[in-house]
Amino acid sequence: MNRLELQKINKHYGKKKHALCDFSFEFTNGIYGLLGPNGAGKSTLMNIISDNLLPDKDGGKILWNGEETRILKEKFRSRLGFMPQQQNLYESMTAHTFLNYIAALKCIDRKTAEQEIPKLFERVELSESMDKKMGGFSGGMKQRVLIASALLGNPNLIILDEPTAGLDPKQRVIIRNMVSDLGKDKIIIISTHIVSDIETIAKEILFIKEGNLIDSGTISALVKKVENGEKSLESLYMQYYGEV
């Protein structure tokens, strides 16, 4: 069983913007949805967990299976798969070349990468396109390439930042179904502001607002907190944020 523990994580941007406020939570194997509107602090949290951004000095601890990630360093990062929100892909590269490039960055040896990469393209249903340049890919195809890159090296912790951003409903369903098969023996954290993307696959939901964890729990427990109207996760989202 994997365990990721966040202890009082804080992050300021300048003197006034408090992006994360004493954020604490413990994750174990399964899929977690991190819900909140744009600007709530989701991407900041994702980038701190993935070691792409530092918390404030004395701004809390992150523990991976009981050990601080700042001490584990590369040992932790080798168990991590991260899909950023932006589709910063090299459009002149083929998808296959791109994954080889990511494998090199992850220090995965070439022989292992060449065995793993075709299986990943099959998993994300891009086998027929893996030798095509990514400049001609649709948004959904690019997202699937990024998911494949996050899965390289069979990580125990996978972080997906807005994996369905900008996609149409059909493409969102494809991505959702793909992710739902991954969470049996891994921790998967999905950041989104689209309730339907995670309400059927998440083990637990975390609501974040202005950098604060305002609520968390299983969907069945959370929907009981809806004050009026339909008992649904979407209704609770509207109750907390006033929007969908």
Statement to judge: residues 218 and 99 lie in one domain? no
Q: What digits encode the pLDDT tens for the residues 73-123?
A: 999 999 999 998 766 788 999 999 999 999 998 889 999 999 999 999 998
Statement to judge: residues 92 and 67 lie in one domain? no
Q: What digits encode the pLDDT tens for the residues 110-149?
A: 999 999 999 999 988 899 999 999 999 988 899 889 999 9
Going by pLDDT thresholds of 50, 70 and 90, the confidence category of residue 244 is low
Statement to judge: residues 151 and 32 lie in one domain? no
Number of domains in the chain: 2
Mean pLDDT for the chain overall:
91
> What mean pLDDT is predicted for residues 206-225?
96
Statement to judge: residues 48 and 139 lie in one domain? no
User: 137, 155, 173: which is the final residue of a domain?
Assistant: 155
Going by pLDDT thresholds of 50, 70 and 90, the confidence category of residue 239 is very high
Statement to judge: residues 178 and 125 lie in one domain? no
Q: Which residues contact 163 (CB under 8 A, 6 or more apart)?
A: 83, 143, 146, 147, 175, 179, 190, 192, 197
Going by pLDDT thresholds of 50, 70 and 90, the confidence category of residue 196 is confident
Statement to judge: residues 73 and 173 lie in one domain? yes
Q: Which two tokens stand for residue 174?
A: 């494809």
User: Measured between alpha carbons, how far is residue 174 from residues 65, 82, 164, 168 in Å?
Assistant: 32, 19, 10, 10
Instruction: Tell how strand 204-209 and strand 212-217 pair up.
Output: antiparallel
Q: Which two tokens stand for residue 178?
A: 């793909």
Q: What is the pLDDT of residue 177?
A: 85
User: 140, 155, 170: which is the final residue of a domain?
Assistant: 155
Statement to judge: residues 66 and 184 lie in one domain? yes
User: 112, 129, 155: which is the final residue of a domain?
Assistant: 155
Q: What is the pLDDT of residue 164?
A: 83
Distance CA 235, CA 208 (A): 16
Query: Strand, coil or helix: what is 135?
Result: helix
Q: What digits encode the pLDDT tens for the residues 16-70?
A: 889 999 999 999 999 999 999 988 999 999 999 999 899 998 889 999 999 999 9
CATH of the domain at 47: 3.40.50.300
Statement to judge: residues 7 and 24 lie in one domain? yes
Q: What is the pLDDT of residue 65?
A: 97
Statement to judge: residues 75 and 167 lie in one domain? yes
pLDDT at 3 over 80: yes
69, amino acid identity? T
Statement to judge: residues 58 and 104 lie in one domain? no
Statement to judge: residues 73 and 163 lie in one domain? yes
Statement to judge: residues 71 and 15 lie in one domain? yes
Instruction: State the residue range of the domain holding 210.
Output: 3-79+156-241
CA nearest to 204, candidates 20, 30, 24 = 30
Q: What digits encode the pLDDT tens for the residues 161-184?
A: 888 877 888 888 888 888 887 777
Residue 210 zone, left/alpha/beta (φ > 0; ψ -120 to 50; rest): left
